[in-house]
Chains A and B, each alone.
Chain A
Amino acid sequence: MEADHPSSTIYANVSILWAFLRRDLRNELSYRLSFFLQIIGIFPVVLMFFFLSRLVGKTISGPLSPYGGSYFPFVLIGIALQNYLTVSLSRFSGSLRESQLSGTLEAVLSAPISLPIFLAGSTFYSFVFNALRVFIYLGAGTLLFDVHLNWVRLPAAVGILILTMAAFSSLGIFASAFIVLFKRGDPVNWGFSVISWLLGGVYYPVSILPGWLQRVADVIPMTHALEALRVVLLTEGGIGTIRWQLAALGLWAVVGLPISLYCFRYALNRARMKGTLGHY
């Protein structure tokens, strides 16, 4: 069979991902106002943090010195990544919930599609679109507010974003398992989003937290993703400077993804057993 050959299997899986991407893009574009507002909505947020940074001024320049000393570029990267992860992560469970409500989940799962491809396909559009939004955030800061970012390091930033996505996907897939089993309620995304913006260094550097909270922050992938992205875009520090952050994100991905996939498979099997796959 054609699909049994490794190269044709890869080609088939890429085609499936492309089909998911086109499906979701068409769906989003059919809601033109919403699509437009998602882009436009970035600018008031950036403006608000610009004014906030003027209020903060140089008062916290000490803790910010590793990132160039200025608050606005620091927080701009923070909100861009926070937004990326919150929206992208919620898509795992959100897209599954939409599939349950629209009745398409059973139709898709009755096709010969592998679980990882189903999950990747269901969130592919969201990750791509929200990655673009990150760069719109950063571009708006650069063009409108004269923020100096190392744009020549853009490929490194994209690489960090992909690694971050892999690390966070495990949480998103784990959250989806809850949706398959319990239909509503998503404690995983909620919990990690709160912990991430509270301790991950989105709005303030982790170094101002009490020592014991800093150690908690060290476990969160957001802390490492933000640190790596800020070092790459705001300083002259080389890749060696962020090797521990990259290793932490890699560890989250390597350990977290198989565990979360196992949990999701378990949840699907339970739903097939209980006959509740299409229930909502």
Chain B
Amino acid sequence: MTLTKTAIQCTHLHKAFGHRPVLQGIDLRLESGAILALVGPNGSGKTTLIKILASLITPTQGQVSICGHDIAEHPARTRRMIGYVPSEERSFYWRLTGIQNLVFFAALYNIRGRACKQRVHDVLASVGLQQDGARRFQEYSAGMKQALGIARGILHDPPVLLLDEPTRSLSPDAARRIRALIVHKARVEEKAVLISSHNLQEVEALADHIAVIHRGRITAQGPLDALKSLAGEAPSADLDTLFEYFTSGS
């Protein structure tokens, strides 16, 4: 029973590009219905970790399982369980419309026909693009492109969402909508959400658990209150203070 509840499990994960270590001994666990935020300075290894979970990068050492399935042994099965939202906006076909893009990606997940049409309509509405689906992707603003990436991530209704800086290019109201969507996905639909962000206020508002990653190592992990007591900070301390504390060491 516990196994089915664990959505993401990383055990002693290492990654090096050549002789340069990028991730060192990452142990991570995320349950269904929970939101885990990865925070850390630029180049700390957040995106590499997310790409390993999305099976786009192979770890040098260690084990990763998604909903109980090892990603090395069952890559296709685990990909079906993941909704990956990359941080960069250039991951669509620019001459196609938003709807045409989503219909194409839906086919890769075996969603077609009437179900596809309905699903595309629903996800566009959930990210606030219902009026813009017929426009070409190249006409979208940076925020709309980001929103379409999120729509694609939830298109096949996966149990695990990997969101790499999902609100980076969004206006405050669009970011608020996406945050509400993330909370809904976790709390109501019981999805496991792993999010990386530089927006510490957003992390504080969203995450059940926070993992601070610095130079490829997780320097602290747990609920915000646990991080505060770990750092010896007062309950009133904010995440900026904790971030400073956990990423200042060499």
Contact = CB atoms under 8 A, between A and B. Distances in A.
Question: Bound pair: A and B?
Answer: yes
**Interface size class of chain B, counting residues whose CB lies under 8 Å from the partner chain:** 35 or more
Given A23-B104, A110-B54, A110-B55, 8 more contacts: A15-B107, A16-B107, A23-B96, A102-B94, A107-B91, A111-B105, A112-B76, A272-B57
Nearest to B156: A111
B103 A19 contact: yes
A107 B94 contact: no
B90 A103 contact: yes
7 contacts: A16-B108, A106-B51, A273-B60, A274-B17, A275-B48, A275-B51, A278-B56
Interface residues of A, number: 33
A12 interface: yes
Contacts of A111: 79, 105, 108-109
A103 B105 contact: no
A22 B108 CA distance: 13
Contact of A26 (B54, B58, B96): B96
A113 interface: yes
B95 A104 contact: no
A108 B108 contact: yes
B51 A15 contact: no
A119 B133 CA distance: 28
Nearest to B92: A104
Contacts of B60: 273
Contacts of A31: 95
Given A2-B110, A112-B109, A22 B56 contact: no
Nearest to A109: B56
A18 B105 CA distance: 12
Contacts of B17: 274-275
B18 to A, nearest CB: 8
B90 to A, nearest CB: 4
Nearest to B96: A26
B86 interface: yes
Contact of B107 (A19, A102, A107): A19
A272 B58 contact: yes
A107 B86 contact: yes
Interface string A55-67: 0000000000000
Interface in A232-251: none
Interface in B141-193: 152
Interface string A269-280: 100111101100
Contacts of B96: 23, 26-27, 30
Contacts of B79: 110-112
Contacts of A274: 17
Interface string A107-140: 1111111100000000000000000000000000
A26 B95 contact: yes
Interface in B70-85: 76-77, 79-80, 82, 84
A3 interface: yes
Contacts of A278: 56
A25 to B, nearest CB: 11
